[in-house]
Amino acid sequence: MNRQDIYFEDAEPGTRYTSETHLVTAEDIARFCELTRDHHPLHTDAQYARTRGFPGVIAHGLYGLALMEGLKTSLGLYENSSIASLGWDDVRFVRAVVAGDRVHVAFEFVDKRPTSKPGRGIVHEMLYLINQHGQIVIQARHASLLACRASTTCA
């Protein structure tokens, strides 16, 4: 997607965005295992995962959280306006992300405030990773530091 950058002034609480869908594969999960060195059998052994009540290997919760950020980034909303991620709060892994799930991100701006430094402000977003059944699998609140369009003040 190719959208115009959202600067601090543009972030209106209540405004919502939705990403495209992503297919989570067993190979994606295996690569995340290698990257993080977390080879728990829930993520590597479908038979073991079934003994724990899952239909197959499941993704790490942190994989899902990272994917949320990636899907949000794919919208192209902050290409020139993002300064930093300030952190994630109230992260909840509501349901398992299973290999074969098709997920997307829905998020909305919930509030914002200027900072003491000119030219920047903090925006809070509420994000949801949603599977092909319309179920929320992960939800979290994220704080972003965004540039202002005017370099001296934020409205």
The CATH number for 48's domain is 3.10.129.10
Tell me what pLDDT residue 38 has: 86
Asked if the structure places residue 98 within a domain, the reply is yes
Host domain of residue 21: 8-147
Asked if the structure places residue 155 within a domain, the reply is no
Q: How many domains does the chain have?
A: 1
DSSP conformational letter for 58? B
Tell me what pLDDT residue 154 has: 74
Tokens representing residue 126 in the block: 């509420």
Asked if the structure places residue 3 within a domain, the reply is no
Q: Average model confidence (pLDDT) for the chain?
A: 93
Q: Whole-prediction pTM value?
A: 0.91
Tokens representing residue 128 in the block: 């949801």
> What residues have CB less than 8 Å from 144, skipping those under 6 apart?
78, 82, 84, 85, 86, 122, 123, 124, 125
Per-residue pLDDT tens for 77-124? 999 999 999 999 999 999 999 999 999 999 999 999 999 988 999 999
Which residue from 21, 17, 22, 23 is spatially nearest to 4, judged by alpha carbons? 17
Helix count and strand count (H, E) for the chain: 4, 6
Helix axes 26-36, 61-73, angle to 10 degrees: 110
Asked if the structure places residue 46 within a domain, the reply is yes
